[in-house]
Amino acid sequence: MIDLLKAKKLIFLLVIVISSFLIITGCGRDSGADIQSAEDNSFIMNTLVQMRAHGENAEIAVEESMDRIREIEYLMSRTLEASEVSQINDNPGEFIEISEETQKVIAESLYFAELSSGKFDPSIGPIVDLWGIGTEEARVPSQAEIEEVLEFVDYNNLEIEDNRARVTKEGVKIDLGGIAKGYAADEVREIVKKHDVPSAFINIGGNVLVVGNNVDGSKWRIGIQDPRRGRGNVMAIVESKDQTIVTSGDYERYFEEDGEHYHHIFDPESGYPARTGLLSVTIITDLSLDADALSTIAYVKGLEAGMKFVEDIADVDAMFITEELDVHLSSGLTGIVEITGPDFNLIEGENFAD
């Protein structure tokens, strides 16, 4: 069953650790000393949101960014009764007027569903509810229960028409959790740029996005979490500027029962947590919304199919970590990723694209 003590410790660890994925390079004694800075840590979208900005308008950029993330949560959370997503789920067959923001995210979720042949599916809600992973009601459902709700997991039952959307079948429940955090991070970047803030990072539950360089002029150093250990333990470092780094792994939300590990990344076809021999997949690209969806898709597809999928998309790179602790990099990351974990093996020279 769920380790409740571990769950209670999680929030505490999140507060004291700047980021499980982000290592901030130290500034020189004089470098950046006179630059205004602002930061905030808030619990939004069911996760810890951490932001830091450096520049003349840093404070207003951080404040506005946090408010924007709350607005997105209010629109797209499936657990808030008044949200637009909840209104869609609670009124099957009826078109619900939605905001431009929700319209965009739903449209993008359908795009990635088509692109991945259903490996990413915004109608995964019934499976999420059945397993209850991340709640005190987490359990292993029976095969019969899974088969019963799989009838409702089909993104073709979600329709969007201009500023309206609906599910066409009672029992279908959409869940934008696999893409909404990425959209929120992209919105933060626009706010930061609007206020001419030259240096900032945002971490929304592991969805990391950096703007510009670090305050000392160097690139941001992004640490990739060791998937076997707690937050703050990294196994690789990537230097980055104006990019997003998003990781999907089997260690973020999970429970154990009878010696089995059950995580929250579901295969929409089977209704079970994806079993592909992977511990995590990290996507590095420009748009956090894309990275959010792509990390899930690549994880569910597995190493070979996932790598082929990523290599076919321009300006997207990925790092796969297998259960054997082998690290596989897409072609664009060769020579860029620094492996710091002594137990990990960097596998180079493989080509899954053929």
Beta strands across the sheet bearing 338-339: 22-23, 220-225, 234-240, 338-339
Which of 4, 50, 45 has the alpha carbon at shortest distance from 256? 4
Beta strand pairing status for 345-347 and 326-329?
parallel
Contacts 24+ apart (CB under 8 A), 1-8: 1/138, 1/255, 1/256, 1/257, 2/136, 2/138, 2/255, 3/255, 3/256, 4/136
The partner residues of 260 in beta bridges, in order of sequence, read: 257
Q: Are 281 and 247 in contact (CB under 8 A)?
A: yes
**Residue 296 is assigned to a ligand binding site:** yes
Give per-residue burial for 2-30: e unless 16+ CB within 10 Å, then b: beeeeeeeeeeebeeebbbbbbbeebeee
Annotated binding residue at 178?
Answer: yes
306 marked ligand binding residue: no
CB count within 10 Å of CB 69 equals 25
- Answer yes or no: are the C-beta atoms of 165 and 16 closer than 8 Å: no
Residues 76/207, Cβ–Cβ less than 8 Å? no
CA distances to 96, 116, 195, 295 from 302, rounded to whole Å, are: 36, 12, 41, 11
E strands, 205-259, are 207-211, 220-225, 234-240, 244-249, 254-257
Say how far apart CA 69 and CA 145 lie, in whole Å: 35
Q: Which residues are annotated as a binding site for Mg(2+)?
A: 178, 292, 296
Residues in the annotated binding site: 178, 292, 296
